[in-house]
């Protein structure tokens, strides 16, 4: 299996760059709106498009991802809430395991159901440890996955989950506060995870402005994800400001 998308991520990070991924939940956008957003994302320097959600009820996933692919040259990476969110039109899939939780369905069950679709459609799987971090309220992913998040004041617990995930062969770690989170992942926790692992760390959930994104980068985040801010009236402007901050970030 080729690792085209993953190799590109690694190459960019090795060159000292930090990356920006823009998340779209197909439930929230028409094909036209989604296409417009990804064109803007590409123009402002985003590095990839993520597509997914904790509870997706759209029936236009295939056409949505196909439309995004037609509208930009960025890789479109699935970020599935469960095994039903696989489409042949994507370039890659974050093959997630919810390792902060102890619910076997999200550690291995959904993965077994999704794997044959990934293989049949020749979608590049990127093994990703998904660590849910407490963020002030019960998030959709916490409720839907029926798992407890890692307490936000326990960076050591997050760090050891990251280390175990790396030893289990994961290629990326995703520190997730949850979409629309009240509080994003604390800098101290990002630093603790980074001090234990060599694999790239993605940080998402509740990042709505450039300053917050810069704090996560300074703490050690390699890749920043934003989604929810696109629902704000000035969402595109916020996305542009964040992209600019990430592009120009120097450690
Ligand atoms: C959610 O980490 C992503 O899964 C992005 O979060 O929607 O809060 O930006 P936001």
pLDDT (tens digit, 9 = 90+) per residue, 36-74?
999 999 999 999 999 999 888 888 999 999 999 999 999
CA distance 38 to 20: 13
- Residue 145 Cβ inside 6 Å of ligand 1? The answer reads no
* Confidence at 22, pLDDT banded by 50, 70, 90: very high
Please choose, from the candidates 232, 191, 186, the residue with its C-alpha nearest in 3D space to the C-alpha of residue 205: 186
CA distance 69 to 42: 12
> Total domain count for the chain?
1
Question: 141 CA distance to ligand 1 centroid (A)?
Answer: 10
CATH number, domain of 217, equals 3.20.20.390
Nearest residue (by CA) to ligand 1, atom 1, is: 179
pLDDT (average), residues 94-106: 98
Ligand 1, pocket-test mutation among 176, 182, 223, most atoms within 8 A of CB: 176
Question: 43 CA distance to ligand 1 centroid (A)?
Answer: 21
- Residue 23 Cβ inside 6 Å of ligand 1? The answer reads yes
Question: 228 CA distance to ligand 1 centroid (A)?
Answer: 6
- Residue 176 Cβ inside 6 Å of ligand 1? The answer reads yes
What stretches of the chain show up as alpha helix (H) in DSSP?
4-14, 31-44, 61-71, 104, 110-120, 140-145, 155-167, 187-196, 210-219, 235-247
* Confidence at 189, pLDDT banded by 50, 70, 90: very high
Atom of ligand 1 nearest to the CA of 206: 8
Atom of ligand 1 nearest to the CA of 207: 9
pLDDT of residue 113 exceeding 80, the answer is yes
CA distance 93 to 195: 26
Question: 221 CA distance to ligand 1 centroid (A)?
Answer: 15
pLDDT of residue 1 exceeding 80, the answer is no
Range of the domain at 59: 4-248
- Residue 82 Cβ inside 6 Å of ligand 1? The answer reads no
Which pLDDT belongs to residue 11?
98
pLDDT (tens digit, 9 = 90+) per residue, 139-175?
999 999 999 999 999 999 999 999 999 999 999 999 9
Tokens of 24: 């779209």
The DSSP letter of residue 139 is -
Model pTM?
0.98
Question: 229 CA distance to ligand 1 centroid (A)?
Answer: 8
Ligand 1, pocket-test mutation among 227, 231, 246, most atoms within 8 A of CB: 227
- Residue 52 Cβ inside 6 Å of ligand 1? The answer reads no
pLDDT (tens digit, 9 = 90+) per residue, 200-246?
999 999 999 999 999 999 999 999 999 999 999 999 999 999 999 99
Question: 131 CA distance to ligand 1 centroid (A)?
Answer: 13
């Amino acid at each position: 299996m080729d690792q085209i998308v993953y190799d590109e991520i690694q190459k960019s990070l090795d060159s000292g760059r930090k990356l920006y991924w823009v998340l779209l939940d197909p439930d929230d956008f028409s094909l036209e709106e989604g296409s417009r957003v990804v064109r803007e994302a590409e123009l402002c320097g985003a590095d990839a498009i993520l597509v997914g959600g904790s509870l997706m009820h759209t029936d236009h996933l295939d056409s949505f991802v196909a439309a995004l692919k037609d509208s930009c040259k960025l890789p479109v990476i699935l970020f599935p809430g469960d095994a039903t969110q696989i489409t042949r039109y994507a370039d890659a899939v974050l093959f997630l395991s919810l390792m902060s939780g102890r619910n076997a369905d999200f550690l291995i069950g959904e993965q077994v159901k999704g794997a044959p679709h990934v293989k049949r459609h020749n979608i590049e799987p990127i093994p990703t440890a998904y660590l849910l971090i407490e963020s002030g309220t019960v998030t959709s992913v916490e409720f839907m996955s029926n798992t407890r998040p890692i307490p936000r004041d326990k960076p050591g617990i997050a760090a050891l989950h990251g280390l175990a995930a790396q030893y289990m062969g994961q290629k990326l770690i995703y520190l997730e506060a949850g979409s629309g989170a009240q509080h994003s992942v604390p800098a101290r926790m990002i630093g603790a995870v980074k001090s234990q692992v060599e694999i790239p760390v993605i940080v998402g959930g509740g990042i709505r402005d450039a300053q917050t994104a810069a704090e996560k980068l300074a703490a050690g985040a390699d890749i920043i994800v934003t989604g929810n801010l696109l629902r704000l009236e000035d969402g595109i402007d916020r996305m542009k400001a964040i992209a600019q901050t990430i592009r120009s970030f120097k450690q």
